[in-house]
Chains A and B, each alone.
Chain A
Amino acid sequence: MIEIKKNRIENNYSNWQIFGLTFLRVLIGWHFLYEGLIKVFTPNWTAEFYLAGAIGPLAPLFRSLSRSESLLAFVDTLNMWGLVVIGLGLFIGLFSKPLKIAGIILLLLYYFAYPPLVGAGINTHAEGSYWIVNKNLIEIASLCVLFLFPSSHISGIDRFLSYKKSVLSSSR
């Protein structure tokens, strides 16, 4: 997809397509970044009760995480800083390929901690109604789309990295 022609990075996207993909990437980045920072800035923030209240087939796994102090400390740190790094990366389009994968993994964990299965009680107090598909799953799908149709090499810091890489290999 990336071609260097006359010292310019060429691509097959129309300008509107680039705008659309960039817009989606920035929104998801914004969401991750804010979720991460609010946890970082909340004194003694912990996922303990979120994990302890997990439902569905993987609930025992999540609950066991909440019971181990050392594991929980690790999970908390990984979660909040993971969100910040992924959010920032998506926002400005830096290292966005690996960070999208990381984002998908993190969202999958949230999804399976509270899978929207009818009868599991999850809808009792949710602001909407969900069955199998919820907003986490849609965000996962959006990241998959962004992974397959990247934009950061055009409208992100990755542009400079990919240009540098391409130029380096072409100059050899």
Chain B
Amino acid sequence: MKKHGASIFRRDFIKGLAAVPLLGYFAFEFKNNIPKGIEEKSKDYKQILKIRQLEAPGAKLQRPTGNSGNRLRFGLVGHGWRGEQLLHSLGYTHPEEVEKQTVNGKYTKRFQEFLEQEDLNVEFAGVCDTFDLHAKRGVEISLNDIRPGGGKGKPKPAKIYTTYREMIESNEIDAIVISTPDHTHAQIAIDAAKAGKHVYLEKPMTHTIEEAVELRNTIKSTGVIFQLGHENRQQMSFKIARELYQKGVLGDVSMVQTYTNRNSLNGAWIRQRRFDALGNESNINWKEFLGNAPWCEFDPKRYFNWQRYSDYGTSVTGNDFSHKYDGVNQVLDLGIPEMVVAMGGQYYYKNHGDMPDVINAIFSYPQRGLTMTYDGTLKSGIYRQSHILGSEASMDVDRAIMLYKDGYSERYKDIESDSADPMYYYEPNADVDAVSTATSKAYIKGGYGPTFIDGKVIDATFLHLKEWIDAIRGQGETSCNIDVGFEEAVTFNLANLAIKHNKVVRWDAEREKVIIG
């Protein structure tokens, strides 16, 4: 055997070790290449961005604040599509939804997650809607016990209130959630605050600037807890973006560009929802719907597509731009512009109210040395994030962040990064340390969805409502408070006034008055 072994070694030794010299080369070169390879692969974003720490992603969720002694009874004013979404985030859903989310006798993952959502310890105690069917549907929802924290006894039906005034006078209601047409926001919120009820108000805050002033003064004087429904206040991306800006990552910001685009009838608020065909004068309280708006005869088109009419809605600016504005306002603390020019035209959906289809607005902030622009169209669905243009880097921000080095940057002159490739990237479905080049990740486009906090992916609207409820219980403060709500309402209303009057509009911050022309 030894002899055989010796001969094979003699004859075929080299063949058997054919790859070994290559391994030698690998080993020799490896030690030189590995540090470079690792550096390329795992860029430390803090080093790249020249910051010491990023604190926002370390935020923790507020622990549940509910206990047996502090059950909060809330009433819902306005149970349309958004009202139903808010109820869902508060832990209440319609039996139809349970059925829809049950496949082969099992709940879908989404519904399972809903059931596992924190029980906010709230009671859906009252509902009020100018359309009877919507109010009755609210009662059906209140009776559905399949919910987070459900199954603890027979659920109590929500009481139907004919008007919001009856609801706020009731001592069976502690707080109200308002999701009514825009023109009624201020009056309901003001009356509720005066009655001592805490207020969660859907965005946009008010239909006019005068209403915004009055609402702010009322909230401040009554001391009730107020939250405006910009749920993107809970998005981690904006918190990170804010911290990055404050730490100088962007340099001097001279321009902010915001956009919204839609391209469908539904997107243009020309809608035919499920119960709309059943609406008539006998089941719609038309007078209550009109509120302080100019009188006109009952018109189901106006009632169901109220957004399209400036008597009730706040145009594309109130509906869409207000979200984008609140996003960049979170990052930059922009506040109210000094001057606004804007124009718009109703070119496509001419038979539906007086809402423009195309809008361009420029908001001037001379003291900040920057200009914000807004472009919105209802005839193109192209997606564009908000862009914050800085002297050192520019940021695309929505639910995700992409940060691009400026070609002439001083701060990043030593960073080898193409201006076309993001040097920092954040996406909401993973932890912040997942930042890397965007090439390795499927880019999550913007919109209004869940956010990532404390290691969990959570519905932003739930967090926003939770923040309000926790604040009512004395834990923390609301992030979309009356002051930032005031900035939102004044800013988008200035653009609406500029379009309406076809003139430059200025804001007199001291007197809190609009100067047209």
Contact = CB atoms under 8 A, between A and B. Distances in A.
A52 B434 CA distance: 10
Given A52-B429, A92-B20, A155-B18, 19 more contacts: A8-B11, A30-B22, A37-B30, A41-B34, A49-B431, A49-B434, A52-B434, A53-B430, A55-B442, A92-B17, A93-B16, A93-B18, A124-B443, A155-B15, A156-B18, A156-B19, A157-B16, A159-B16, A163-B8
Interface of B: 1, 4-5, 7-8, 11-12, 15-20, 22-23, 26, 30, 34, 37-38, 41-42, 429-431, 433-434, 438-443
B434 to A, nearest CB: 4
B443 A125 contact: yes
A7 interface: yes
A125 B442 contact: yes
Given A38-B34, A167-B4, A53 B442 contact: yes
Contacts of B34: 37-38, 41
Contact of A121 (B22, B434, B442): B442
A113 interface: no
A76 to B, nearest CB: 14
For chain A, the bracket of interface size reads 35 or more
Contacts of B433: 49
Which one of B1, B15, B41, B442 has the greatest number of beta carbons of chain A within 10 Å? B442
B2 to A, nearest CB: 10
A160 interface: yes
B4 A125 contact: no
A75 to B, nearest CB: 17
A7 B7 contact: yes
Contacts of B42: 42, 45
Q: Which 8 A-B pairs have the closest CB atoms?
A: A121-B442, A159-B16, A49-B434, A155-B18, A125-B439, A7-B7, A26-B19, A42-B38
A22 B17 CA distance: 11
A55 to B, nearest CB: 7
Given A37-B34, A125-B440, A125-B443, A91 B26 contact: yes
Interface string A7-33: 111000000000000100110011001
B430 A52 contact: yes
Contacts of B431: 48-49, 52
A125 B19 contact: no
Contacts, number: 98
9 contacts: A7-B11, A8-B12, A22-B18, A34-B30, A42-B42, A53-B430, A55-B442, A125-B440, A157-B17
A167 B438 CA distance: 56
B439 A127 contact: yes
Contacts of A7: 4, 7-8, 11
A34 B430 CA distance: 26
A28 to B, nearest CB: 12
B4 to A, nearest CB: 5
A16 to B, nearest CB: 14
A144 B429 CA distance: 35
A124 B430 CA distance: 17
A72 interface: no
Contacts of B20: 92
B240 to A, nearest CB: 16
Given A49-B433, A52-B430, A92 B19 contact: yes
Given A37-B34, A156-B16, A167 B442 contact: no
A117 to B, nearest CB: 12
A106 B187 CA distance: 63
B291 to A, nearest CB: 45
B35 to A, nearest CB: 8
A52 B20 CA distance: 38
Contacts of B443: 121, 124-125
A122 B429 contact: no
A70 interface: no
B38 A41 contact: yes
A164 B6 CA distance: 11
